[in-house]
Homo-oligomer: A and B are copies of this chain.
Amino acid sequence: VSRSALILAGGSGTRFWPASRRLRPKQLLPLADGRSLLARCVERLAPLVPIEQVWISTTAELAGAIAAELPGIDRGRILAEPTGRNTAPAIGWAVGEMPQAARAGAIAVLPSDHRIGDEPAFRATLERALVAAEAGHVVTLGVSPRWAETGFGYLELGSPVAGFEGLRRVAEFREKPDLETAQRFVASGQHVWNAGMFIFRGETLLERISEVAPELASGLAAIRAAPARATDLYPKLPSVSIDTAVMERIELAALPLDCGWDDLGSWQALYELLAGDADENRTLGEAVAVDASSNLLFADQGTIAALGVENLVVVRTGDAVLVMPRARAQEVRRIVERLRDAGRDDLL
């Protein structure tokens, strides 16, 4: 039986502006030891899922850039949504587009914009998830929390699933908690971060969609029946997440995942990952620091020179330079909003 992966690479975002742009979102940035997160996401699946069994879900806008980043993947396996919708239509449609042989086997649906430090550990857990999926379970990999993060959703673990070591039923989806709740979750040992990784037989997922999301199922069926009309029909699919539309409504199982997972949510998160020089400046690209310490210096071309500054993020990519304190890395969207308001789409 084949094992496949469906990599979700349609995302966009502004947290890594100005490195991330509309046509070069985070998953295409070289944030994984010089490789893009997307390329690394595909590469780390081997040998568990060979590249010939990898499909990519993305948007029409990004398809060209993704194809260029992944020369080993036939263009036919890069599935571009007619228009960008939410994850439920994207995954449902893409699974339907995959060949029957792939749909009949287990499919690992994986986001492409995360970093994983311990890849053998990741593959070992994924292997167990694939085995459970092949037995008919819909499985999620839930990241064992390393701190009381309030920016993620959590999954509350329930009773063990017999026959699969470590596999637990998901008792409840918990939205982003406040700090106190997050601390309680972490202390309990019964909660994991929802990292959006799902493993199932394709046919199983399509059945579940039919059962719990009939509007989505019929919309997807209409597109399959008239693929020439996909451009008209796709935008009419309900824009809901796979969590809300499907996963929260079915019997879902979880495997805790302990593999140095990092969602790289900001420039500050990147700073924390990189190794520093003697003054704790951490650099991607070329930089010179004099009497400067604890800065993140990121240049996709040219050189950054920092003198006498501390705890800054300095990014130069393409036609934009960003300077801000590391502690305010979450606020980069304010710059993006300002540029959008000013009609400067050329910088976004």
- Tally of chain A residues near chain B (CB < 8 A): 35
- Residue in chain B with minimal CB distance to A339: B288
Whether B321 pairs with A305 at a CB distance below 8 angstroms is yes
CA distance A334 to B303 in the complex (A): 15
Q: Write out the residue numbers on chain B whose beta carbons fall within 8 Å of the beta carbon of A344.
A: 303
Return chain B residues, CB-CB under 8 Å to A312.
Answer: 309, 323
A321 pairs with B308, CB closer than 8 A: no
Most buried by B among A301, A314, A325, A335: A335
User: What is the 8 Å Cβ interface bit string for chain A, positions 201-226, against chain B (1 contact, 0 not)?
Assistant: 00000000000000000000000000
Number of this chain's copies in the assembly equals 2
Kindly supply a per-residue 1/0 record for chain A positions 312-331, scoring 1 wherever the CB is within 8 Å of any chain B CB and 0 otherwise: 10101011111111001001
- Would you call A161 an interface residue if the criterion is a C-beta within 8 Å of the partner chain's C-beta atoms? no
* Chain B CB within 10 A, most for which of A303, A305, A335, A344: A305
Whether B318 and A302, one on each chain, are in contact in the complex, defined by CB atoms closer than 8 angstroms, is yes
Name A296-314 residues within 8 Å CB distance of B: 299, 301-309, 312, 314
| Contact assessment for B302 and A338 in the assembled complex, using a CB-CB cutoff below 8 Å | no
In the bound complex, residues from chain B placing their C-beta under 8 Å from that of A305 are 18, 320-323, 335, 339
A347 within 8 A of B: yes
Asked whether A332 is an interface residue with its Cβ less than 8 Å from the other chain, the reply is yes
> Is A180 an interface residue, CB under 8 A from the partner?
no
Give Cα A179 to B288, complex, Å. Answer: 34
- The reply on A290 being an interface residue by CB < 8 A is yes
Report yes or no: A306 in contact with B323, Cβ–Cβ below 8 A: yes
**Interface check A291, CB cutoff 8 A:** yes
Contact pick for A307, options B319, B332, B342, CB 8 Å: B332
Q: A: which residues have CB within 8 A of B?
A: 18, 288, 290-291, 299, 301-309, 312, 314, 316, 318-325, 328, 331-332, 334-335, 338-339, 342, 344, 347
Give 24 pairs: A residue, B residue, CB < 8 Å, sorted on A: A18-B305, A288-B338, A290-B331, A290-B334, A290-B338, A299-B321, A302-B318, A302-B319, A302-B321, A303-B347, A304-B322, A304-B323, A305-B335, A306-B322, A306-B323, A307-B322, A307-B324, A307-B335, A308-B324, A308-B328, A308-B331, A309-B325, A316-B321, A323-B323
Nearest 5 interchain pairs by C-beta: A302-B319, A307-B324, A308-B328, A305-B335, A304-B321
